[in-house]
Structure 1
Amino acid sequence: MSKQKVAIYTRVSTHHQVDKDSLEFQEKELKNYSEYLLGIKDYEVFSDAGYSGKNTKRPGYQEMMNRIEGGEFTHLLVWKIDRISRNLIDFAQMYEDLKGYDVTFVSKNEQFDTSSAMGEAMLKIILVFAELERNLASERVTSIMLDRAQKGLWNGAPTPLGYNYDKETQKLTINKKESEHIKFIFDQYEEHHSTGDVKHQLEIADIKTKRGGSWTTKTIGQILRNPIYKGTYRYNYKKAGRGEIKDKEEWIIVDDCFPAIIDEDQWEKVNKMLDENYAGQVSNRRRAKNVHVFSGIIECPHCDINYIASPGTARKDGFKPSIYKCRNYSVSKAEYSDCPTNNFISEVNLGPFILNYISNLVKVQQLIINQRISKDKAEELLIQERYFKEVVGIESKGLTTTYNAIYNNGSEELFKKPQNNNKVTDLQLKQLKKKKEKQEKALSRLEDLYLYSEEAMAKKDYLIKQKQIKDKIKNINSKISERHSNISGSQSIVNFEFIKKASRFLISQELIDQQTINYRKLISNIDKQLIKDFVQSVVRKLVIDEKKVLELEFINGLKHKFIWEDGAKGLKGRM
């Protein structure tokens, strides 16, 4: 059994409370309780003098919770519950955190201990009231918002394109210039039946979004689907954060709530067209038999988003190669692209490069183990063959890590799966992610309270609280990154299990002894899904720019960055 240690927490709201509630009295009583009732002599005291219990913004409390999070304590002992918090919601959140850290909560005055069944039951009764408080607040907010909507009042959120928000009346009024843009969008969709074409027409007309940004087909689709433009207010339509659509029974719909920009007949007609187009796209997707080997793993370095895959033009023999392009790039209308370099690449060029590089790595691994070739020779062999003729080298860091791991550990240790004994770190990472979710929910609740609560919150107070929560989220994100770094840094042996997979695949296809892999012939003779499964079990990410593979990240996190010669044309030409 691990060593037990108690965190003792004391608090008084003023420096002049009566003796029985003084810090000294609480501390003395709780130390005795720890030693004689809990049987634990290892304890540490955290105190907050002159702090209210209405929230948890107290230095002693925050330090204690940070150290509990670090796994330093097994118990939290208080004089009574209100010393921790007078806010049931804050208390409930703290208790959930303690459960995640496997820490027992003990209150001397209320005489319960969550390590016992009775103590746990008593605490759950308290938490039931906390849940009730949350639900009542939620119901009150929903009721207020429905009442506001029925009065034609805007319930917060960014003002939609086509409207202005009047702070005095809290209503929406039509923005004449922007309303013309809305009409343009509906008219263009009615004419072209395509959000992509509407996007290009908006760009030709030099019409920007409400914030002056560039258009996406998703944004256009959202405008066309929004009933606000026919005067209908739709609230509680999507879940906060992820944006998933709620059950229809949960929606709040108020007709004739706002001044309409589009007449109802046109809105219904356009939405019927959208439904029909979507049904056709789904049907096409179901019929599609194209397998895109590299889908989901190619990234554009300029846009920080993935490439999308689509079937290219069929060859005479029926072969239809995949085309991969940056999501911001339209092949047929490149002049409208948001991607600065119009990034796209064909499978006929990418496939041979990646498959032959993986094949070369398998062969080089054996040569390092058996013949002890040098790192320079290994680099030379990795980029031999015609597919790498414009690649002059591999960035030193990734190459050196690969070479040293193979050279020093040999085949036995090389493929040994690293053991992660740092279970505490993994637990802490899980807890941090949980903490982050709670702060994000708190931020959402704060916004609801500011916008819709009957008890008005001053904008200054809202902004201060908002910043505090955002700072907490930022701090948690920093800790999450640090945990990830610690976990990866604790693995002393680089896991190259993926090379074993590659070797088995190449041998099974009788490719291991071939000088060069003919990718076109390979995908003609083997089920393409098998090749995709193999590639995506070996490769985590490819970064491609102007038809040049800049970086290949393997499934174990190791990155090989390619150095191309000046003026290189990249992977062009046909197989």
Structure 2
Amino acid sequence: MNKKSAIYVRVSTSHQIDKDSLPLQRKDLINYSKLILGIDNYVVFEDAGYSGKNTDRPAFKDMFNRIKEGEFSHLLVWKIDRISRNLLDFCSMYDELKKYNCTFISKNEQFDTSSAMGEAMLKIILVFAELERKLTGERVAATMLDRATKGLWNGAPIPLGYKWDKIIKFPVIDDEERLTVELIYNKYIETESTSAVVKYLNQHNIRTKRDGNWSTKTVGDILRNPFYKGTYRYNFRESARGKKKKENEWIVLDNNHDPIIALDLWTKCNNILDENAKKNSARFRAKSKTHIFAGLLECGECHKSFYSKSDKTSLDGYTPSIYTCSSRYNHLGCNQKTISDTIIGNFTLNFISNMIKLSKTYKKLSPEDIEKNLLSGSSFNDVKGIIEIDDIFNSFYNTSSKIFKPNKQETKPANIDLNKLDADLKKQHRALERLENLYLYDEKEMSEKDYILKKNIINTKIKEIDAKIKSSATISTSTYNINFFLNTATLELSKEIIEGNINMKSLIQRVGRDIIKEFVNSLITKITVRDRKVISIQFTNGLISTFIYEV
């Protein structure tokens, strides 16, 4: 193999970037490759502003993928800790390097792994590099704990109602913002509901500290925060949004600073929160009304989830569930109307029923015939077609003319993978939103370079997940497995589904909501609705059906 160097350079902070650390490393290593190793063919990989505690870095990943393809004979770094300060990460990486016959060289430590001594020195140095990192972390943590016990600020975001004072180096009351905090506490005492407080704040265009809309989470955080009663609490969680630590590890200083909320008002609000939390426990919810499509609905307008509640009971005793877009409910600009489980159920269950009826047809059908069969019945009078009909047709006749060929083994992993991908995608979108908020509104400024780098990483992950979802949504013969649709249904419900012409109201009265909900949740991961119509159904086995309506 012709010799070719992969030159890797990294710095941890924007300060180091500004001090020309990257250009220095780059120039030094290029000269080393040319003059010492005699290798003029090289590629430089740069990670600016990334920590060495793990290998989750874009340029590093790109470089390592190319090493695995056999492109490089040497990996050259300025210092060993430019690659990793984590012993396990490095050992794993080094084993991979040996597998692909790539020699590792650290210019500053003056060794290369083509010799046994160089390899031994490498491992010894890395052990001490990781030890130094851990000791530094412990020293920093101890210093911050000591500062907290003295009532000194350790750099968290400033709470609403306070502003930073450069002289005393601690938050002081902001006379304008304090009015919002006082309003939140007083409104909560009046309504005993975080949702009611959120609705009031958003209706009156009162913004959060970061100029955003309110949610029950942000209101709840303010009501729970002891900082507003003058108590400074530190070392409460493992990370900003991590698990709570044991109470004996907390640092709590009462009467540490000027409060916005009186102690008795803060205590009353938190007692109400505690009582409401008990009512909302799983045991209490189990006794509440079952809403069949709760947790499955997405707004086709703003892509937010739906809230569910019971509608008025009719004269015959039937009480439908109705669903409202959470964005509309919280007055965040969405104008979508409520929709009942009768509309959703008639459409969704009759569509499943038509699939099962179609499974009994053994003659070859055209895409038009399949679409016509799937959309037969009064529930689909205004539906013009299905976007994925060609995929449906191809899946029917891909490997066999026998429709709904049973294959339980293929369905199960698709179910697991798609759910995980869906969760990962939502997680990345939330991360992107948090990053943008951090860049735009946080007290501690983030540099534009850091913002762009981190945004690109998240966008890359989103694209990768999107590609996997599209790939896993490719429909195979097993997608339309009749067993998939009936495995989890009770005998009585199975008969209703097979017979078709389902009336949701009658079905609920005969079978019960709990059985239907269990059946629906075993089949469906998401139903998108808009203008009181079902726009698409995403099944747990990978099938997605998107409906085209008459204009």
Q: Check whether the contact 2:299–2:528 (CA below 8 A) recurs between aligned residues.
A: yes
**Separation of aligned partners in 2, 1:322 and 1:347:** 6
With 310-319 and 162-171 compared, the bigger mean Cα shift is at: 310-319
1:42-441 map, 5 Å: 46=42, 65-69=61-65, 72-73=68-69, 83=78, 85-87=80-82, 89-90=84-85, 92=87, 95=90, 98=93, 104=99, 126-149=125-148, 153-167=152-166, 169-203=168-202, 206-240=205-239, 242-282=241-281, 285-288=284-287, 290-313=289-312, 320-330=319-329, 337-338=331-332, 340-367=334-361, 369-370=362-363, 372-389=364-381, 391-395=382-386, 397-409=387-399, 410-411=401-402
Contact kept, 8 Å, 1:292 with 1:322, in 2: the verdict is: yes
2:530 maps to 545
Given residue 375 of structure 2, which amino acid in structure 1 is its aligned partner? I
In structure 1, what is the Cα distance between the partners aligned to 2:138 and 2:5?
37
Structure 1 residues 209-234: Cα deviation after superposition (integer angstroms, max 9, x where no partner): 23343322222111111111111222
Measured in 1, the distance between the counterparts of 2:89 and 2:3 equals: 16
Q: Give secondary structure in 2 for the equivalent of 1:496.
A: helix
Aligned to 2:544: 559
TM-aligned CA deviation for residue 282 of structure 1: 1.8
Q: Which moved more, 1:238-247 or 1:354-363?
A: 238-247
Task: Confirm or deny that 1:468 pairs with 2:453.
Answer: yes
Give the drift of 1:55: 8.4
Q: How many residues align?
A: 502
SS at match of 1:172: strand
When residues 96 and 511 of structure 1 are mapped into structure 2, their CA distance, relative to the original with a 3 A threshold, is farther
Contact in 2 for aligned 1:308/1:326 (Cα 8 Å): yes
Q: Provide the C-alpha distance between the structure 1 equivalents of 2:200 and 2:484, rounded to a whole number of angstroms.
A: 49
Residue by residue over 1:186-210, the C-alpha shift from the partner in whole angstroms, topping out at 9 and shown as x without a partner, is 1222232222232344356553323
**Aligned-pair CA distance for 1:474:** 3.5
Aligned counterparts of 2:267 and 2:60: Cα–Cα separation in 1? 58
| Mapped contact 2:306–2:324 kept (Cα < 8 A) | yes
| Partner Cα separation in structure 1 for residue 380 and residue 532 of structure 2 | 13
Residues 26, 79 of structure 1: 8 Å contact kept: no
1:26 matches 2:37: yes
SS of the aligned residue for 1:164 comes to: strand
Q: Is the 8 A contact 2:47 2:59 kept in 1?
A: no
Which deviates more from structure 2 when the two are superposed, residues 541-550 or residues 286-295?
286-295
Distance 2:187 2:204 in 1: 12
Contact 2:352 2:485 in 1 (8 A): yes
What is the CA-CA distance between 1:179 and the residue it aligns to?
A: 1.1
* Deviation (angstroms), 1:549: 0.8
Summarize deviations over 1:493-524 as a string: whole Å, max 9, x none: 35414543225678943236525123334334
Moved more, 269-278 or 492-501: 492-501
* Structure 2 gaps, min length 5: 9-23, 412-416
Change (3 A) 1:179 1:85: same
> Structure 1 pair 79/476, CA: closer, same or farther in 2 (3 Å)?
closer
**SS at the partner of 1:261?**
coil
How has the CA–CA distance of structure 1 residues 474 and 404 changed in structure 2, closer, same or farther, with 3 Å as cutoff? closer
Partner of 2:17: none
Contact 2:396 2:403 in 1 (8 A): no
Distance 1:137 1:192, change over 3 A: same
1:303–1:480: structure 2 CA closer, same or farther, 3 Å change rule? closer
Structure-1-length-normalised TM-score: 0.70
1:478/1:565 CA distance change after superposition, 3 Å: closer
Aligned residue number for residue 534 of structure 1: 519
- Once the two structures are superposed, what CA deviation does each residue of 1:71-107 show, in whole Å capped at 9, x if it has no partner? 7358987689x65634474565862772796965865
Conserved 8 A contact 2:233-2:252: yes
Q: 1:76 to 1:387 in 2, by over 3 A?
A: same
Query: Is residue 488–residue 519 contact of structure 2 (8 Å, CA) maintained in 1?
Result: yes
CA contact (8 A) 2:311 2:322 kept: yes
Q: 1:484 to 1:193 in 2, by over 3 A?
A: closer
Specify whether residues 51 and 24 from structure 1 end up closer, same or farther in structure 2 by C-alpha distance, changes over 3 A only.
farther
Which digits, 9 at most, give the CA deviation of each residue in 1:452-500, with x for residues without a partner?
9xxxxx979x554454344344444444544555x448x6835414543
**Do 1:71 and 1:101's aligned partners in 2 also have CA atoms closer than 8 Å?**
no
Give the counterpart letter for 1:193 in structure 2: E
| CA distance in structure 2 between the aligned counterparts of 1:14 and 1:516, rounded to whole angstroms | 71
- Structure 1 letter corresponding to 2:391: T
Cα shift at 1:154: 3.9
Unpaired runs of 5+ in structure 1?
A: 29-43, 331-335, 421-425, 453-457, 567-575
Quote how far apart the aligned CAs of 1:355 are. Answer: 0.6
- Cα 1:112–1:252 change in 2 (3 A) is farther
Alpha-carbon distance between aligned partners in 2 of 1:507 and 1:284, rounded to the nearest angstrom: 25
- Indicate the SS of the match to 2:496: coil
Shift of 1:273: 1.9
2: distance between equivalents of 1:254 and 1:180? 25
Matched AA of 1:405: S
Distance 1:107 1:150, change over 3 A: same
Give the conservation status (yes or no) of the 8 Å contact 2:46–2:59.
no
For 2:335, give the aligned amino acid: T
In the alignment, the residues of structure 2 paired with residue 143 and residue 284 of structure 1 have an alpha-carbon distance, to the nearest angstrom, of: 42
SS of the residue aligned with 1:207?
coil
8 A contact 1:164–1:173 mirrored in 2: yes
Cα drift, residue 263 of structure 1: 1.6
TM-score by length of 2: 0.73
How far apart in 2 are the matches of 1:231 and 1:240?
Answer: 22
For 1:497 and 1:124, how far apart are their aligned partners in 2? 54
The separation in 2 between residues aligned to 1:502 and 1:9, in whole angstroms, is: 53
Q: What letter matches 1:493 in structure 2?
A: S
State the Cα distance separating 1:270 from its structure 2 match: 1.7
Question: Letter of the aligned partner of 1:305 in structure 2?
Answer: K
Distance in 2, Cα, partners of 1:329 & 1:18: 58
RMSD of aligned residue pairs (Cα, Å): 4.9
**Identical pairs, percent:** 30
Contact 2:475–2:543, Cα closer than 8 Å, also in 1: no
Distance 1:157 1:375, change over 3 A: same
SS at match of 2:383: strand
**Is the deviation greater in 507-516 or in 71-80?**
71-80
- The 8 Å contact of residues 45 and 59 in structure 2, kept in 1 or not, is answered as no
